[in-house]
A and B are shown apart, each in its own frame.
Chain A
Amino acid sequence: MTSLRATLKRGFDRVERPLDTLFGSDWNPLANLGPLGWFLFWIVTGTGVYLFIFFDTGVVNAYQSVKWLSESHWFHAGLARSLHRYASDLMVIIMLVHLVREWAFDRYRGRRWFSWITGVPVIWFVYLSGITGYWLVWDELAQYVALTTTELLDALPFFAEPIARNFLTPESLSGRFFTLMVFLHIAIPLLLLLMMWIHIQRITSARTRPPRGLSILTLTALVMASFALPAVLQGPADLSTFPARVGLDWFILGLYPVIDMVPPGVIWTGALLVTILLFGLPWLPPRKENAAAQVFLEFCNGCTRCEDDCPYTAITMVPRSDGAPFPQEAKVDPDKCVTCGICMGSCPSSTPFRRVGPLITGIDLPDRRLEQVRAEVIAAAADLSGPGRVMTIACDHGAAAAPEKGRVVLPCVAMAPPSLFDFILSRDLADGVCIAGCAERECYNRLGGKWTEERIARMRDPQLRKRVPRERLLTVWEGPSASAVLDHSLDDFSERLAAMGPMPNKSSLSPEEVRNAASVAALDVADATVLP
Chain B
Amino acid sequence: MIRRLHHLSMGGTVTLVLCLGVAWLSASPAWRSVPENMALVRLSFTHSGDRSASCRDRTPEELAKLPPNMRQTQICDRRRPPIYVELEVDGTLIYAEQSPPSGLAGSGPSRLYERLLLPTGSHVLTVRMRDNPASDTFGYAATRNVDLKPRQSFVIDFRKEIGFVFE
A-to-B contact residues, CB < 8 Å: 19, 21-24, 27, 29, 82, 85-86, 89-90, 93, 144, 148, 151, 154, 160-162, 164-165, 168-169, 213-214, 217-218, 220-222, 224-226, 228-229, 231-232, 239-251, 256-257, 260
Contacts and interface: CB of A to CB of B under 8 A. Distances in A.
A139 B44 CA distance: 24
A250 B26 CA distance: 6
23 contacts: A22-B7, A89-B26, A90-B19, A160-B108, A165-B44, A168-B167, A169-B155, A213-B4, A213-B11, A220-B16, A221-B15, A224-B16, A225-B16, A225-B22, A226-B23, A231-B27, A241-B151, A241-B153, A245-B31, A246-B31, A247-B28, A251-B26, A256-B31
Contacts of B23: 82, 86, 225-226, 228-229, 231
B32 interface: yes
Contact of B7 (A151, A213, A221, A240): A213
Contacts of B10: 21-23
Contacts of B19: 86, 90, 221-222, 224-225
Contacts of A89: 22, 25-26
Given A240-B152, A251-B22, A256-B31, A160 B102 contact: yes
Contacts, number: 144
Interface in B22-50: 22-36, 38, 40, 42, 44, 46
A59 to B, nearest CB: 16
Interface residues of B, number: 47
Given A82-B23, A245-B30, 5 more contacts: A23-B14, A85-B26, A151-B113, A229-B24, A244-B36
A221 B16 contact: yes
B108 to A, nearest CB: 7
A244 B151 contact: yes
Contacts of B86: none
Contact of B27 (A225, A232, A241): A232
A113 B136 CA distance: 62
A224 B21 CA distance: 12
Contact of A168 (B15, B24, B155): B155
Contacts of B4: 24, 213
Nearest to B23: A229
A144 B33 contact: yes
Given A228-B23, A245-B31, A248-B27, A22 B11 contact: yes
B32 A244 contact: yes
A250 B113 contact: no
A337 to B, nearest CB: 36
A232 B26 CA distance: 8
Given A165-B44, A225-B22, A231-B26, A246 B33 contact: yes
B112 to A, nearest CB: 8
Contacts of B53: none
Contacts of B79: none
Interface of B: 3-4, 7-8, 10-12, 14-16, 18-20, 22-36, 38, 40, 42, 44, 46, 102-103, 108, 111-113, 115, 150-153, 155, 157, 167
B31 A168 contact: no
Given A169-B155, A221-B16, A243-B33, A162 B44 contact: yes
Contacts of A231: 23, 26-27
Complex A-B, nearest 10 residue pairs according to Cβ-Cβ distance, in ascending order? A225-B19, A23-B11, A247-B27, A229-B23, A221-B15, A232-B27, A162-B113, A244-B34, A221-B19, A221-B16
B111 A251 contact: no
A22 B14 contact: yes
Contact of A161 (B24, B46, B150): B46
Contact of A244 (B7, B33, B42, B46): B33
B59 to A, nearest CB: 36
Contacts of A29: 15
A242 B157 CA distance: 17
A160 B4 CA distance: 60
Given A24-B11, A225-B19, A257 B26 contact: no
Nearest to B36: A244
A222 B35 CA distance: 35
A246 B30 contact: yes
Nearest to B7: A24
A85 B112 CA distance: 36
Contacts of A245: 30-33
Given A217-B8, A247-B28, A242 B111 contact: no
Given A225-B20, A241-B151, A242-B151, A218 B15 contact: yes
Contacts of A169: 153, 155, 167
